[in-house]
Structure 1
């Protein structure tokens, strides 16, 4: 007897969910264990129920499909199902099993499921998908950062970020009211934050340019930046060059 592929649907459009469910009813090796109408529900269901496969929309309210992937502790196989063809290349860079462009046929769906079944047979779980997602740069600069804090998901507009500090495999993101830890690299934020608004001043710090009040020399060829709230951050030689380039001094 063929083992069932435990499956979750994350799709905000009810008609699209119902159509996908009706297709899946005729696929013998699929066991549908949950359906979610937004990314928040999807994160909770995937981490708790640990499916083998997720059908994932991309453009959804609250958080996108790509942002959802960043928040997963459990790493299932992913088939994207979306009306937007412009994300196809990015989806495959993220190691998606397949990319279904709406409207798709039942035959096309079965073909995609076959790819997942083959992956499960040869590879097991898709455990590296979070790392793949986290390090690919976006086509457009980030406009928000999604952070999971135990049972809460915070959506932080980038214009609220004051600076980011490296903490080994994590970063600490500072806003005027709070700070948030996220498992990302500084290189990721250096690649995805708008370079007109943020500058890497040190291997440990990325700072919003408008937060800088002054730059002080405290030793020969050693500098610090002082932010408007009087926070002091070290500046490396490369960071000082970056500051000169962006501030034109």
Structure 2
């Protein structure tokens, strides 16, 4: 499957290193160039193809805004900045999002999901884990381990056989991230079909022995999916 080819441009070597590490964690991203020299990046872009640039706005020799004016809108941008007011000007260009420094992986991942939705190919099927923040800690969850996800007001509970992860997120946002074996079966539940054992009139039985509700509105789609 095609990958999103990306470039990192930041005059701070530590910032470049951090973003390189983050990019390496995303299966559908391919880093093709990184530099703390924006002129080197312009030269690379003139000779090579890429889809996405992580671009620092405040660089002494060439600002991110001027960089975008030179390169143009043939690529998408994620701006990185220590000052949020600069992001407003950036949105005049082909900017998907901006990341406010210091950049956490959780915020980086959300930005990448916005990018993924703007590309014509489906990278969703390649996602095999989620990074979430629960109880003040970052967790990497293998999607195959998820039994179901339950919405609880402004939070969701990601349930595995051994753990529960309560995170500040919407069910809709997670539904867009997960592979096709995950399906909404109720206004408050997403189910991993690989963990399903039986379907009743109002409940779905899981291999773990648990039961979760199935809504009338979603049941026909579930039964169609099972065919």
TM-score by length of 1: 0.52
- How far off its partner does 1:110 sit? 1.5
- How far off its partner does 1:174 sit? 1.0
Asked if the contact 2:129/2:140 (under 8 Å) is kept, the reply is: yes
User: Which of 173, 181, 191 is 1:207 aligned to?
Assistant: 191
| Pair 1:59–1:175, CA change in 2 (3 A) | same
What does residue 226 of structure 1 align with?
205
What does residue 176 of structure 1 align with?
161
Task: Report which of the two structures shows the higher radius of gyration computed on alpha carbons.
Answer: 1
User: Which of 219, 222, 225 is 1:243 aligned to?
Assistant: 222
Segments of structure 1 that go 5 or more residues without pairing to the other structure are: 1-15, 25-31, 43-55, 67-78, 100-105, 218-222
- How far off its partner does 1:192 sit? 2.2
Asked if the contact 1:164/1:172 (under 8 Å) is kept, the reply is: yes
Segments of structure 2 that go 5 or more residues without pairing to the other structure are: 1-6, 29-37, 68-80, 92-96, 100-106
Give the Cα–Cα distance (whole angstroms) in 2 for the partners of residues 119 and 36 of structure 1: 17
User: Which of 115, 123, 126 is 1:140 aligned to?
Assistant: 123
Q: For residues 93-151 of structure 1, what are the alpha-carbon distances to aligned partners after superposition, in whole Å with 9 as ceiling and x for unaligned?
A: xxx7669xxxxxx89x6231668699636859x99865973873654123210012355
Q: Matches of residues 64-143 of structure 1 in structure 2 within 5 Å?
A: 64=26, 86-88=50-52, 110-112=62-64, 120=85, 133=111, 136=114, 138=117, 139-141=122-124, 142-143=127-128
Give the Cα–Cα distance (whole angstroms) in 1 for the partners of residues 137 and 82 of structure 2: 33
Aligned length: 172
Q: Matches of residues 8-47 of structure 1 in structure 2 within 5 Å?
A: 24=11, 35=14
The Cα RMSD (Å) is 4.6
| Pair 1:37–1:159, CA change in 2 (3 A) | farther
